[in-house]
Amino acid sequence: MKKIVTAVAAAALLWGIAQPGAAQAQRALDVASTFPKGMVYLGEGAENMAKLLEDVSGGKLKMKVHGAGDLVPALEVFNAVSSGAVPAGWDWIGYWGGTVPVTGLMGAMPFGPDPEVFLGWMWEGGGLEILQKAYDKYNVQVFPCHLTAPEAGGWFNKEINKPEDFQGLKMRISGLGGKVINKLGASSQLIAGGEIYVALERGRIEATEFSLPIIDKSLGFQNVTKYYYFPGWHQPSSWNSLLINQDVWKKYSELEQKQFWAACKANVVWSMAVAPGAQGKVLDEFRAKGVKVQRFPEPVLAALRKASAEVLQEEAKNDPIFKEALDSLNAYMKVAGNWMELQSLQTK
């Protein structure tokens, strides 16, 4: 009997050593988000990912999502995951451009692809492989799990009638878009989503962009600014991602890792499906409150497009992985565009 007990104990110990993922899967993975917990759409994306992961794993894999600042400040999530201070994070990819330059492009390309093309490139056109290569040196596993529809061009407290109206403008804008408006004489600032309203209200900034109308409404920008501009030239589509420290990631079994990927891809479908239908009603509400919803004049868009091309080339010269990603994405856009142009039902 003693030998049997000893054998069982030894087998259990061996199982625990050989299958660390099984032990890991029994407790929730703490996820530090860059967004306030429960924020419409963006914060909800992490919560939905958690639900999908639990469903696909039969309840074995769980994520506990923490809002911005609960575990670490919003803009320190990447470094915290990299160092292992927190095991996982949820972000907008472009926040990390100062550390990993290619994330500026991966988060959103100014005047870049629409969601359909960006999705194709990320998952089937080589984008994910390039992004992971950039993250490997930081000990981070990345999952592009949320694809955001085209965003608004931003909220302003004055009309933008010509490129010169950007001169001296203090604007919260993230990613490469900030470098673009700086070329037009603006002063870009990166402020986490939960802090933007106060910055606007107190005059620290005079304009901001953030996301879709439904999200901007939840942050109250319509109460402190007068003009809402389109299109979102800086983010015609953009990626949010789940980050996992690679030491943590390696503890999951092969099956469990596949379940993460399955939930991630399902979450992309959710993110694309829920966005389009909700925006029009919110825009009507803004108009009823006296907000002027309008497009940037063509000369303004032309100036922004020119500045964007300059910024992209400058970034490519400074970082080889950025150049690899830009060349790859441009090539994919060209090939996809040939087909999509033939399929277009729009008449010119």
Give the C-alpha separation, 130 to 321, whole Å.
7
Residue 8 has pLDDT above 50, yes or no: no
Task: Mark whether 262 and 289 lie in a shared domain.
Answer: no
Task: Mark whether 121 and 183 lie in a shared domain.
Answer: no
Banded model confidence at residue 20, pLDDT cuts 50, 70, 90: very low
Residue 34 has pLDDT above 50, yes or no: yes
Phi and psi at 346, nearest 5°, equal -80, 140
Give the C-alpha separation, 182 to 232, whole Å.
17
Task: Mark whether 267 and 300 lie in a shared domain.
Answer: no
Tell me, what CATH number does 120's domain have?
3.40.190.170
Asked whether residue 2 is domain-assigned, the answer is no
Look up residue 143 and give its DSSP letter: E
For residue 15, the model assigns a pLDDT of: 31
Q: Which of these, 135, 25, 152, lies nearest to 89 by C-alpha position?
A: 135
- Model-level pTM? 0.89
Higher pLDDT, 20 or 275: 275
**With pLDDT > 70 as the criterion, what percentage of the chain qualifies?**
92
For residue 22, the model assigns a pLDDT of: 42
Between the alpha carbon of residue 287 and those of residues 41, 107, 219, the distances in Å are 22, 30, 17
Asked whether residue 83 is domain-assigned, the answer is yes
Summarize pLDDT for 266-286 with one digit per residue, the tens: 999 999 999 988 899 999 999
Banded model confidence at residue 2, pLDDT cuts 50, 70, 90: very low
For residue 36, the model assigns a pLDDT of: 93
Higher pLDDT, 5 or 76: 76
Give the C-alpha separation, 25 to 63, whole Å.
10
Task: Mark whether 24 and 62 lie in a shared domain.
Answer: yes
Least confident of 27-31, 32-36, 339-343: 339-343
Asked whether residue 36 is domain-assigned, the answer is yes
Asked whether residue 333 is domain-assigned, the answer is no
| 235 annotated as belonging to a binding site for a ligand | yes
For residue 38, the model assigns a pLDDT of: 87
Output 285-292 pairs: Cβ under 8 A, ≥24 positions apart. Answer: 285/217, 285/222, 286/213, 286/217, 286/222, 286/228, 289/222, 290/226, 291/222, 291/225, 291/226, 291/227, 291/228, 292/159, 292/226, 292/227, 292/228
Task: Mark whether 211 and 185 lie in a shared domain.
Answer: yes
Give the C-alpha separation, 283 to 291, whole Å.
9
| 210 annotated as belonging to a binding site for a ligand | yes
Task: Work out the average pLDDT over 333-342.
Answer: 88
Task: Mark whether 166 and 261 lie in a shared domain.
Answer: no
Banded model confidence at residue 19, pLDDT cuts 50, 70, 90: very low
Task: Mark whether 163 and 299 lie in a shared domain.
Answer: yes
Task: Work out the average pLDDT over 145-160.
Answer: 97
Asked whether residue 304 is domain-assigned, the answer is yes
Query: Structural domain of residue 229, as residue ranges?
Result: 154-235+280-328
Residue 27 has pLDDT above 50, yes or no: yes
| 195 annotated as belonging to a binding site for a ligand | no
Higher pLDDT, 27 or 150: 150
Summarize pLDDT for 280-331 with one digit per residue, the tens: 999 999 999 999 999 999 999 999 999 999 999 999 999 999 999 999 999 9
Residue 93 has pLDDT above 90, yes or no: yes
Asked whether residue 307 is domain-assigned, the answer is yes
Between the alpha carbon of residue 28 and those of residues 25, 60, 63, 285, 308, the distances in Å are 7, 9, 5, 39, 42
Give the C-alpha separation, 328 to 302, whole Å.
24
**How is residue 324 written in tokens?**
């690899």
Higher pLDDT, 344 or 159: 159
Tell me, what CATH number does 292's domain have?
3.40.190.10
| 298 annotated as belonging to a binding site for a ligand | no
Task: Work out the average pLDDT over 63-84.
Answer: 97
